[in-house]
A and B are shown apart, each in its own frame.
Chain A
Amino acid sequence: MIPSFPGFGLGLRKEHYADFLDHRVAVDFLEVISENFMVDGGRPRRILRDIRARYPVALHGVSMSIGSADGLDRAYLTRLRALVDDIEPLFVSDHLSWSRIEGFNSHDLLPLPYTQEAFDIVCANIDRAQNALGRAMLIENPSTYIEFAPADMTEWQFIDALCAHTGCGLLLDVNNVFVSASNHRFDPIAYLDAVPHERVRQIHLAGHSQGDHLLIDTHDQSVPSSVWQLYAHVLPKLGPVATMIERDDAIPPLADLLAELSTARRIAAGKLEEAA
């Protein structure tokens, strides 16, 4: 079982490198996009080592493609393992999605049908990844824009079984639950009540945008009240858990993100006190 880390963190973005390196910022951990640092050397690796010397770091990937029907990319795993050994991260995570098939890489987090066949493939891929990395991973629930009629299980059933079968943990993205629930008209509360709470090791909080027909997981604005409400709902079921604000576009000053993180701390303190 992956150890818990009950802290509050932010995603590290280039705009804030100097803030984090020049000052002791009041965060408990930082999450970085693994692929940005899976390079041979140079400034990115030096900065990550400097950051790691000051803060605990979680590695969050976007390109493992654990849902690929033709398996995982060995070169990718080798590079990720080298980064893991170098950084000794709190967590290593990636998404319940796929990006690559037969030499084509979309560089997007594409959806999976929740069928028994897909489950078997994802389990095999996670087993292989965890063996290659020498540690258990966290898998993040995705935001999706299409759903599949012939599904054998719901997303939360799929995730529950996945965690039980592979021993992986869950990175629960509350915004993704809201986006997918809105797009596919399911009850986000039912989702949050059904995921394996004991497996959740990290929470992502983010914002989204309204597209023409669907909500889009854009990470380009502050966490909306709808997502804060879901966070407040699920937190007592989880207990203290690593929580972070995820912002990937329209990056605001660090102070704005720290203010959002303070909101998360305040909600968590209140809800965990109520639960106790």
Chain B
Amino acid sequence: MSLLAFQRDMRDWLLREDMAAVDRIGAAAGPGLAVYQNNYRTQLVACLEMSFPRTRAWIGEDMFLRAAVHHIDSVPPSSWTLDAYGRDFPATLAQLHPDDAEIAEIAGIELALEELFVAADSPAVGLDGLGGVDWDRAVLTFAPSIDLLHLNTNGLAIWSALIDQKEPPTPQYLETPDVALLWRQGEQCRIRCVDDAELQVLLKARCGMTFGTLCRDVAQLLGEETSMTLVGRWLGLWLSDHMVVAIDDREQAAPCL
């Protein structure tokens, strides 16, 4: 048997306990193959448990284990890093629990936080670096850790209660969907909801719209006075929350489409 054929047989044994593969590897290998099968599944379950502790606390150990086994049977690991194995787990939970959408949303929050925990470092712009900025031409660069999650339920409130070891609220759909903004400030993971006005401006700013254009954009919708106040407040928040890593006012950026 070639090495490739053997490795395919081992894969098939691990993925679906393929007995034909066992026959080809050799009957004497049975006890050893059982060890590898156990190692494979145990490690993946442990990885999901470690990545989604609040989801596990919310749905209970038995339901979590059933979901983990379903996930292992349907989504084979492919990345070199075990940390990536949970990336599709919220989707598996959404598929398994379509009427309990908060479960997948709690898992989505945990996944996003885990990923931003190891996102690239990028020193934030300090308030003392703002002198002389030509704000009309300024383009903001945001921290690479920033992520946005769309929420249809009160999963974020449930997740927060679980973190704080408080009684979680009853799960329910939101009257209007929410968007959670996640980022890392130093080594601390942060999360807050953003309203639609801030979200639209943030999205445009992230894709390179100048600050001056942003202000004029908001002014057209909300009036000049309101826009000055709002955009100024958001900019202050983004800066004090260490979300902005560069401000470039050297040349006009391409318009954001």
Which residues of A are at the interface with B, using a C-beta cutoff of 8 A? Answer: 35, 38-46, 63, 65, 67-70, 73, 75-76, 98, 100-108, 110, 112-113, 115, 117-118, 121, 144-150, 183, 211-214, 216
Q: Is the CB of A211 within 8 A of B35?
A: yes
* Contact digits for B57-96, partner A, Cβ 8 Å, 1 yes 0 no: 0000000000000000000111111110100000000000
CB of B132 closer than 8 Å to a CB of A? no
B118 at the binding interface (Cβ < 8 Å): yes
**Residue of B39, B43, B184 with most chain A CB atoms under a 10 A cut-off:** B39
**Contact indicator A70/B4 (Cβ below 8 Å):** yes
Q: How far is the CA of A118 from the CA of B5 in the complex (A)?
A: 12
Residue of B nearest to A212 (CB): B31
11 example contacts (A-B, Cβ-Cβ < 8 A) are as follows: A41-B122, A42-B118, A69-B3, A69-B7, A103-B78, A104-B77, A105-B79, A107-B44, A110-B7, A145-B32, A146-B26
Cβ contact within 8 Å between B4 and A106: no
B7 contacts which of A39, A63, A98, A115 (Cβ < 8 Å)? A98
- Contact present for A106 and B77 (CB under 8 Å): yes
Given known pairs A41-B121, A113-B3, A144-B32, the reply for A107 and B77 (CB within 8 Å) is yes
Q: How many A-B residue pairs have CB under 8 A?
A: 120
CB pair A104–B32 under 8 Å, yes or no, is no
Q: Is there contact, CB below 8 Å, between B43 and A214? A: no
Q: Say yes or no: B11 contacts A145, CB within 8 Å.
A: no
**Residue in A40, A63, A68, A147 whose CB lies within 8 Å of B120:** A40
Take A102-B8, A106-B14 as given contacts and tell me if A40 and B80 are in contact as well, using a CB distance cutoff of 8 Å.
Answer: no
Chain A's nearest CB lies how many Å from the CB of B247?
21
CA of A98 to CA of B184, assembled, Å: 35
Residues from chain B with a CB closer than 8 A to the CB of A98 are: 7
For A67, what are the chain B residues with a Cβ–Cβ distance below 8 Å? 3
Q: Is the CB of B82 within 8 A of A107?
A: yes
- Among B8, B31, B121, the residue within 8 A (CB) of A45 is B121
